[in-house]
């Protein structure tokens, strides 16, 4: 195995490719599971799984990941027997396959973090797999009952022979298709033909015929299995020149039939090992000179370490501060006498600003990934937890093509898993209980994602029992989260938000999934740290919906600058609905909170100077501005002294010592030697509207 810098780079490449392979395996397993539950044949999914595990085994051996290689080898044996029909696809077999892919992920996480060895018993898993592998007793060979040329059978691989036998046993019709394709378009024409056939039949094998070819064309023969009639098959092929013949049973042949040209000449020992691809390529290679072969890659995808994108994004962000400084310099030049110099500087600034905007948009686009990557993991967790709880759950996913920043997608994984586990454990009733309530036996868990302005909204809803606010009140008092008087004063919506408090749980019994008082508070903490918000809606007997609102990206944001008692702050424009001057005498006090009536609705107010306990004098009420911010479905008016414009910024962390300061998400450099704190809008809205802010403020920003 390579060492040093090149070795580390190769290792990182392996880990990235292995992660992609494991995610693909999870998707293929979900397809296989769906097909098995609906009684559908999915041989291609088994093949894809086999190829993926085989590739992972080869890569693991190449880079010295011995445990990952052994686990791959064990799963490869099981999948090989599935492909060849020696093992039936049952739920126990699927459970073992899912367990294997989960073990892959644990071993890969161990390799990535270089931490303690993953708790994965490869030997025990191998024993469970071997207990599933049982060779079938010898049975009558159905192939002997059909008019299949022995020379044709001789060139079939073991898997192709198994698929032919399985289709005949299931009563499908088997056809032999012959079609002539021009050598100059052999690749595209063959792929088009295969796509047409796959829509109506399974392709058992295809290879060139050694009879009937010409210098500029070649005849391809296929063996097809289908439940459709010959007429439908011909219509799907859309090739009048194609020759199609049904493979008949020997007992049905009443008289000698005309000889059908052999699919291939009698096999020699070397021919049996030859592949279809080799057979197809050889005639084309003979027709074209070797010098025409191209070494150009067939893919345009480049795998990039996210850390490199972070660095590039920081550089682009710093250029944004340079742009702001250049803008101020151009403004100063306008007041000079030299109008030519001023005009030239303005033209350069406009060009720089335009190109920087294009670079910024391009880098942001590179960082975006579809939520399908996350939702595939959710689907695996739903299946696993539902089986552990012995509940029937139907998962509906929409909006998986919605894109978010890669880092946000990664950080969103744990909150999503907590919500899904809670929904199945707490929300979804058992099948017999649902039947008694008149609900359909399979519970429905729906996941929906969509873009809303500069935010992404993810909704997770179930049709379970819902959350009883009375039970929440009793549990909050019992666990000491709230006093009896405080709990009695809360509205129903406020009681639902109590479920996000640390240590809260309505479950008296501790299980592997819930009841420990961890979960929903972790959800809220992680979502808030990402600059988002989480809202909860529930109705007893109907179900529960959790709505997560997140910014599309955390890399470069457009921010609104403002002053409070002589200090400059910034807030993401994405959460700002509007900014207006505070009307004189418009502030009222309701239940101890300052509010403002804005276009017929009540808007709670937050005086930022008091919140952060800033020294200095406050402006007169008539001189104040109100910035209306909205996070999720909650609004808050922030009172500030002066608006100072808008600018693109890169948020920098405050370091470990200041990371827990409430209300502040980071800081940014404006490019003119001014350092500005950036408000954490979600945290401020949550604390203010929940009424948990101390009257003297939540910080001490000086």
pLDDT tens for 111-144 read 776 555 556 777 888 888 877 775 444 455 677 7
**Residue 440: which CATH number?**
3.30.565.10
Rounded distance between C-alpha atoms, residue 293 and residue 289, angstroms: 8
127 and 152: one domain? no
Instruction: Tell whether the model's pLDDT for residue 545 goes beyond 60.
Output: yes
Residues 259, 237 share a domain? yes
The residue range of the domain holding 330 is 306-363
Looking at residue 568, what is its pLDDT?
A: 92
Residue 698 confidence (pLDDT):
45
pLDDT of 86 strictly over 50: yes
For the chain, give the longest Cα–Cα distance. Answer: 109
**What average pLDDT does range 531-555 have in this prediction?**
86
The answer to whether residue 418 is domain-embedded is: yes
pLDDT at 256 over 90: no
CB-neighbour burial class of residue 354 (10 A; exposed 0-12, middle 13-18, buried 19+) = exposed
pLDDT digit string, tens, across residues 10-40: 777 788 788 888 888 888 888 888 888 877 7
Say what the pLDDT of residue 117 is. 55
Residue 274 has pLDDT above 80, yes or no: no
**Based on the number of CB atoms within 10 Å of its own CB, is 104 exposed (0-12), middle (13-18) or buried (19 or more)?**
buried
CA dihedral 617, 619, 625, 627 (to 10 degrees): 20
> Is 699 within a domain?
no
Name the pLDDT band for 47 (thresholds 50, 70, 90).
confident
My answer on whether 258 and 387 are in the same domain is: no
Among the residue ranges 280-284, 372-376, 443-447, the one predicted with the least confidence is 280-284
Q: What is the mean pLDDT of residues 274-293?
A: 37
pLDDT in the model for residue 134: 59
pLDDT given for residue 402 in this prediction: 92
Q: pLDDT at residue 522 above 90?
A: no
Distances (CA, A) of 218 to 158, 244, 339, 591: 26, 17, 75, 86
On whether the CB atoms of residues 679 and 575 are closer than 8 A, the answer is: no
Look up tokens 């000449």; give the residue: 265
Q: Say yes or no to pLDDT of 557 above 60.
A: yes
Q: Domain check: are 345 and 283 in the same one?
A: no
Averaged pLDDT for residues 269-277: 36
CATH number at residue 284: 3.30.70.1110
Instruction: Say which range, 165-174, 294-303, 459-468, 524-533, has the weakest mean pLDDT.
Output: 294-303
Query: 112 burial class (0-12, 13-18, 19+ CB within 10 angstroms)?
Result: middle
Least Cα distance to 611 among 680, 531, 675, 701 occurs for: 701
Q: What is the pLDDT of residue 693?
A: 45
Side by side, the strands of the sheet bearing 664-669 are: 642-650, 556-564, 567-572, 675-679, 664-669
pLDDT at 637: 93
| Phi, psi dihedrals of residue 505, rounded to the nearest 5° | -160, 140
What would the pLDDT profile of 633-677 be if each residue is shown by its tens digit? 788 999 999 999 888 887 877 777 776 677 888 888 776 667 889
**In the predicted model, what is the mean pLDDT of the chain?**
78
Helix (H/G/I), strand (E/B), else coil: 265: coil
The Cα–Cα gap between 211 and 220 comes to: 10
CATH (domain of 26): 1.20.120.160
Question: Is position 700 within any domain?
Answer: no
**Do both 389 and 536 map to the same domain?**
yes
Q: H/E element holding 225?
A: strand 217-226
- The whole-number pLDDT of residue 295 equals 42
Per-residue tokens: 582: 């505070």
Residue 570 confidence (pLDDT) = 92
Instruction: Say whether 632 sits in a helix, a strand or coil.
Output: coil
Residue 650: other Cβ atoms inside 10 A:
21
Domain boundary among 363, 398, 430: 363
Burial class of residue 644 (count of CB atoms within 10 Å of its CB; 0-12, 13-18, 19+): middle
Residue 219, strand partner residues: 180
The angle at the Cα of 575, spanning 569 to 578, to the nearest 5 degrees, equals 85
* Dist CA 120 CA 81 (whole Å): 24
Q: How far apart are CA 64 and CA 1, in angstroms?
A: 7
Instruction: Report yes or no on 695 lying in a domain.
Output: no
Total number of domains in the chain: 5
Instruction: Mark whether 195 and 173 lie in a shared domain.
Output: yes
Smallest CA-to-CA distance from 527 within 673, 636, 683 is with 683
Q: Which of 662, 671, 673 is nearest to 701 (CA)?
A: 662
Q: What is the pLDDT of residues 457-475, one digit of tens each?
A: 999 999 999 988 888 888 8
In this model, does residue 269 exceed pLDDT 50? no
Kindly indicate the confidence band of residue 515, based on its pLDDT and cuts at 50, 70 and 90.
very low
Same domain? 65 vs 201? no
What was the pLDDT predicted at 627?
A: 93
Sort residue 554 into left (φ over 0), alpha (ψ -120 to 50) or beta.
alpha
The full DSSP string for 338-380 is -HHHHHHHHHHHHHHHHHHHHHHHHHHHHHEEETHHHHHHHHH
**pLDDT at res. 4:** 53
Share of the chain above pLDDT 90, in %: 10
Alpha-carbon span 317 to 636, nearest angstrom: 29
The closest of 586, 604, 601, 565 to 684, measured between CA atoms, is 604
Q: Of 519, 551, 583, which residue sits at a domain end?
A: 551
Instruction: Give the pLDDT confidence score for residue 71 in this predicted structure.
Output: 86
Give yes or no: residues 89 and 196 share one domain: no
275-279, 514-518, 687-691: least confident range: 275-279
What pLDDT does 695 receive?
A: 36
Tokens of 510: 């501790």
pLDDT at 136: 47
Instruction: For residue 212, give the nearest of 162, 283, 142 by alpha carbon.
Output: 283
Separation of alpha carbons 391 and 379, rounded Å: 15
Average pLDDT over residues 365-374: 87
User: 522, 551, 580: which is the final residue of a domain?
Assistant: 551
Region of poorest pLDDT, from 221-225, 255-259, 356-360: 255-259
Residue 94 pLDDT > 80? yes
- The burial of 571, by beta-carbon neighbours within 10 Å (0-12 exposed, 13-18 middle, 19 or more buried), is given as buried
Q: Which residue has the tokens 């049904």?
A: 246
Please state, in angstroms and rounded to a whole number, the distance separating the CA atoms of residues 104 and 97: 11
Select the more confidently predicted residue: 532 or 268: 532
The predicted structure's pLDDT at residue 262: 43
**What is the predicted pLDDT for the residue at 173?**
86
Asked whether residue 544 falls in the same domain as residue 407, the answer is yes
Residue 310 falls inside a structural domain: yes
Q: Are residues 426 and 522 in the same domain?
A: yes
Bridge-based pairing of strands 393-398 and 173-182 is unpaired
CATH number at residue 566: 2.40.50.180
596 in a domain, yes or no? Answer: yes
Residue 137: inside a domain, yes or no?
Answer: no
Highest-pLDDT range among 16-30, 174-188, 429-443, 671-685: 429-443
Region of poorest pLDDT, from 269-278, 356-365, 550-559, 562-571: 269-278
Same domain, 526 and 593: no
Work out the average pLDDT over 71-78.
85
pLDDT band at 361 (very low <50, low <70, confident <90, very high): confident
Mean pLDDT over residues 400-410, rounded? Answer: 88
Q: Is residue 298 part of a domain?
A: no
pLDDT tens-digit series, residues 586-624: 888 887 888 988 888 889 999 988 888 888 776 666 678
Pairwise CA distance, residues 664 & 671, whole Å: 20
Which of 618, 625, 640, 623 is CA-nearest to residue 570? 640
Q: Indicate whether 429 and 530 sit together in one domain.
A: yes
Residue 517 pLDDT > 70: no
Band of residue 519 on the pLDDT scale cut at 50, 70, 90: low
Residues with Cβ within 8 Å of 36's Cβ and at least 6 positions away in sequence, in order, are: 42, 89, 90, 91, 94
512 pLDDT tier (thresholds 50, 70, 90): very low
Tokens 């609906």, residue? 38
């Amino acid at each position: 195995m390579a060492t040093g810098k090149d070795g580390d780079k190769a290792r990182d490449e392996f880990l990235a490719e292995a992660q992609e392979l494991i995610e693909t395996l999870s998707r293929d397993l979900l397809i296989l599971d769906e097909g098995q539950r609906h009684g559908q044949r999915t041989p291609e999914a088994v093949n894809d799984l086999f190829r993926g595990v085989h590739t992972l085994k080869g890569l693991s051996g190449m880079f010295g990941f011995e445990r990952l290689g052994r686990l791959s080898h064990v799963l490869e044996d099981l999948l090989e027997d599935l492909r060849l029909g020696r093992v039936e696809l049952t739920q126990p077999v699927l459970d073992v396959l899912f367990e294997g892919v989960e073990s892959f992920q644990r071993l890969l996480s161990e390799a990535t973090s270089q931490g303690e060895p993953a708790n994965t018993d490869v030997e025990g898993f191998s024993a469970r797999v071997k207990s599933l592998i049982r060779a079938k007793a010898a049975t009558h060979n159905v192939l002997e009952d059909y008019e299949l040329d022995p020379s044709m059978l001789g060139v079939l691989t073991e898997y192709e022979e198994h698929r032919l036998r399985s289709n005949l046993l299931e009563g499908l019709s088997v056809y032999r298709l012959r079609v002539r394709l021009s050598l100059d378009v052999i690749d595209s024409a063959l792929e088009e033909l295969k796509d047409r056939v796959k829509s109506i039949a399974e392709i058992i094998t295809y290879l060139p015929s050694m009879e009937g070819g010409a210098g500029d064309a070649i005849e391809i023969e296929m063996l097809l299995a289908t439940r459709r009639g010959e007429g439908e098959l011909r219509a799907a092929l859309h090739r009048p020149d194609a020759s199609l013949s049904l493979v008949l049973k020997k007992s049905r042949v009443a008289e000698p039939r005309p000889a059908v040209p052999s699919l291939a000449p009698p096999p020699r020992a070397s021919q049996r090992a030859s592949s279809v691809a080799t057979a197809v390529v050889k005639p084309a290679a003979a027709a074209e000179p070797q010098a025409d072969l191209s070494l150009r890659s067939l893919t345009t995808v480049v795998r990039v370490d996210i850390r490199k994108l972070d660095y590039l994004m920081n550089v682009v962000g710093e250029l944004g501060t340079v742009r702001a400084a250049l803008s101020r310099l151009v403004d100063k030049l306008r007041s000079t006498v030299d109008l030519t110099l001023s005009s030239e500087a303005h033209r350069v600034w406009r060009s720089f600003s335009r190109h920087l905007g294009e670079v910024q948009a391009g880098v942001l686009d590179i960082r975006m990934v579809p939520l399908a990557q996350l939702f595939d993991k959710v689907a695996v967790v739903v299946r696993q937890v539902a089986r552990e709880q012995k509940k029937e759950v139907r998962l509906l996913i929409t909006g998986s093509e919605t894109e978010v920043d890669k880092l946000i997608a990664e950080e969103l994984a744990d909150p999503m898993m907590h919500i899904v586990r809670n929904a199945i454990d707490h929300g979804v009733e058992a099948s017999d209980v649902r039947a008694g309530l008149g609900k359909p036996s399979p519970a429905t868990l729906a996941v929906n994602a969509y873009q809303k302005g500069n935010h992404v909204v993810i909704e997770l809803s179930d049709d379970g029992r819902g959350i009883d606010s009375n039970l929440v009140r009793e549990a909050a008092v019992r666990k000491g989260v709230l006093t009896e008087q405080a709990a009695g004063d809360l509205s129903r919506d406020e009681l639902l938000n109590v479920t996000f408090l640390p240590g809260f749980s309505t479950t008296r019994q501790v299980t592997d999934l819930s009841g420990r008082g961890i979960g929903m508070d972790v959800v809220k903490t992680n979502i808030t740290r990402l600059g988002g918000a989480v809202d909860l809606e529930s109705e007893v007997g109907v179900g529960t919906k959790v709505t997560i609102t997140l910014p599309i990206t955390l890399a470069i944001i457009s921010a609104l600058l403002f002053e409070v008692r002589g200090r400059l702050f910034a807030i993401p424009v994405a959460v700002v609905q509007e900014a207006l001057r505070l009307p004189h005498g418009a502030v009222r006090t309701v239940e101890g909170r300052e509010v403002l009536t804005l276009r017929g609705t009540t808007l709670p107010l937050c005086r930022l100077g008091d919140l952060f306990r800033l020294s200095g004098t406050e402006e007169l009420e008539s001189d104040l501005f109100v910035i209306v911010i909205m996070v999720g479905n909650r609004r808050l008016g922030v009172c500030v002294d002066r608006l100072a414009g808008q600018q693109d910024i890169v948020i920098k962390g405050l370091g470990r010592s200041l990371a827990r300061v409430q209300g502040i998400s980071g800081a940014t450099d404006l490019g003119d030697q001014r350092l500005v704190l950036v408000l954490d809008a979600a945290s401020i809205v949550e604390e203010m509207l929940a009424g948990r802010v101390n009257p003297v403020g939540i910080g001490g920003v000086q």
